[in-house]
Amino acid sequence: MQILSQIINTVPVFEVSETLKEVIRFFEETTFSHVAVTENGVYLGLLSENDLACFEPEKRIDDFRFEMESFFVTKETSWLDVLEMFSRNEANILPVLDENQTIIGYYDLEDVVSLFIDTPFFSEPGAILVVATGIKDYSFSEIAQIVESNNARLLGAFITDSQNDVVQITLKIGAQGLNEVAQTFRRYNYTIVFGNSDDQFMEDLKQRSDYLEKYLNV
């Protein structure tokens, strides 16, 4: 899935030599968690909205040089890694850099998640099945073979939990036959965590993911 079309250029970038006056106004007038700072046009870091109370209008951004956060993505970063970067840094905006460390724009979390929701995993009708197995035992090729051996269609699969050497894999199956697929997984020593309809799955996903809840309210 290509997400370069989601890059926005409506969010400002500040030079480290500027004062904090406009940065303060930016955070007061938007809901963004961060904003990027450059030095002579080269990416330097991010100021966080969490530090807003410490900002003084007449001080220079340079006074907060060592308080800046430094995460970013590039044009080549995959959409899954972009989502991970959002989550890991508790951010709702990410600067996108080119090979010269120049900022070419930002990704907005809401835009990227909306694009994710439009994928067949969420948009096509089907059933959700969550299976669990040992972290050393699972194989995506085996998972696909199990689904397809029951004349079902696998629309997508990803690991949704991993702890104590056990992984949970969430599957979207685009055809009837969920029970047969589940029984086959049991014969292969997978544990069936649950199998739900789309609506039930989305409700469960919202409960499990505090950070993405407001963006997955479908």
pLDDT digits (tens, 9 = 90+) for 149-191: 999 988 888 888 888 899 999 898 876 778 889 999 999 999 9
Domains: count for the chain: 2
Please say which residue of 87, 115, 143 terminates a domain. 115
Domain containing 106 — which CATH number? 3.10.580.10
Domain with residue 126: its CATH number is: 3.30.70.260
Last residue of a domain, one of 115, 131, 162: 115
Taking residue 146's Cβ as centre, other Cβ atoms within 10 Å add up to 21
CA nearest neighbour of 100 among 72, 65, 60, 63: 72
- The CA distance from 132 to 164, in Å, is 12
Spell out the residues 6+ positions from residue 73 whose beta carbon is closer than 8 angstroms to its own: 81, 82, 85, 94, 95, 96, 97, 107
Shared domain for 105 and 141, answered yes or no, is: no
pTM for the whole structure: 0.66
User: In this structure, are 42 and 145 located in the same domain?
Assistant: no
Residues 93 and 166 in one domain: no
- Are residues 64 and 92 located together in one domain of the fold? yes
Domain that holds residue 140: 120-215
Give the end of a domain, one of 63, 93, 115: 115
Q: Are residues 126 and 190 in the same domain?
A: yes
Give residue 156's pLDDT.
86
Are residues 111 and 11 both part of a single domain? yes
Check pLDDT > 80 for residue 77.
yes
pLDDT for position 57:
96
Gyration radius from the chain CA atoms: 22
pLDDT for the residue 80: 76
Q: What is the pLDDT of residues 7-34, one digit of tens each?
A: 999 999 999 999 999 999 999 999 999 9
Whether residue 195 is found in the same domain as residue 101: no
